C-alpha cells in the first residue's frame, strides 16, 4: 500500500506538471525532475510514505490547476495537509517579493516537522539549480533561504545542516 501511495503521487505529479508543459528554468528538463530529487533527499532521513508522496506533490497546487481538495480526495488528509504546508500562501497583491516571502516564511514557521523536512529538501535541490546558473538571483535566494532556515527549526537536523552548508560561498 505504501509503495502504491508513492507511485500514485509520482504519476499524479508528473501528469499535473506535464499538463502545463512545465520545465525547470535553467535546464529545460521536465519539471518532475525537481520533485523526484526532493523525494530522494527526503528518503535519506527518517520519513514516512506520506512525506514522500507530499515531496512528489509539493509544487502541484502552487504551479498547476490542481487544488488541495483534489490532493486530499486522491491521497488522503495527511498528504494534503503536508502539501498545504508546502504551498505558498502569499498572493501577488500582498506586495513585492520580499513582502510575499515574509508571509510564506511565517506560514512555513508554523509547519509540522514532516513538512519542514520536505521544505529543507526543496531548498537543497533548488540551491543546486540556482547557485551555478543564476549568480544574480542567487544573492536574493541565498538571503531568503537563510531567513527561512531560521524558522525551519523542527525539520530534520541533518537536512537543515545540508541546507545551511549549501548556502556557503564557493
Q: Rounded distance, CA 6 to CA 65, Å?
A: 21
* Catalytic choice (40, 62, 69, 147): 62
- The CATH number given to whatever domain includes residue 70 is 1.10.3210.10
114 domain-assigned: yes
Which band of pLDDT confidence, cut at 50, 70 and 90, is reported for residue 2? low
Between 168 and 156, residue with greater pLDDT: 156
- Say how many C-beta atoms besides its own lie within 10 A of residue 150's C-beta: 10
Over residues 73-130, the pLDDT tens digits come to 999 999 999 999 999 999 999 999 999 999 999 999 999 999 999 999 999 999 999 9
The pLDDT, as a whole number, for residue 72 is 98
What is the predicted pLDDT for the residue at 167? 82
62 part of the active site: yes
Tens digits of per-residue pLDDT, 65-80? 999 999 999 999 999 9
Residue at 86 is within a domain = yes
Assigned domain for 170 exists? no
pTM for the full predicted model = 0.96
Q: Which of 63, 74, 104, 134 is catalytic?
A: 63
Q: How many domains would you assign to the chain?
A: 1
Amino acid at each position: 500500500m505504501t509503495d502504491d501511495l508513492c507511485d500514485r503521487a509520482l504519476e499524479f505529479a508528473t501528469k499535473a506538471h506535464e499538463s502545463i508543459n512545465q520545465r525547470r528554468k535553467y535546464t529545460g528538463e521536465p519539471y518532475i525532475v525537481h520533485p523526484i530529487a526532493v523525494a530522494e533527499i527526503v528518503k535519506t532521513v527518517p520519513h514516512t510514505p506520506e512525506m514522500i508522496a507530499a515531496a512528489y506533490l509539493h509544487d502541484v497546487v502552487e504551479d498547476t490547476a490542481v487544488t488541495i481538495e483534489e490532493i486530499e480526495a486522491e491521497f488522503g488528509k495527511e498528504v494534503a495537509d503536508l502539501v498545504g504546508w508546502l504551498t505558498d500562501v502569499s498572493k501577488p497583491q500582498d506586495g513585492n517579493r520580499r513582502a510575499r516571502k515574509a508571509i510564506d516564511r511565517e506560514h512555513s514557521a508554523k509547519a509540522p516537522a514532516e513538512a519542514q523536512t520536505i521544505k529543507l529538501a526543496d531548498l537543497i535541490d533548488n540551491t543546486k539549480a540556482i547557485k551555478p546558473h543564476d549568480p544574480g538571483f542567487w544573492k536574493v535566494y541565498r538571503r531568503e533561504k537563510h531567513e527561512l532556515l531560521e524558522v525551519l527549526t523542527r525539520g530534520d537536523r541533518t537536512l537543515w545542516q545540508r541546507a545551511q552548508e549549501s548556502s556557503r560561498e564557493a
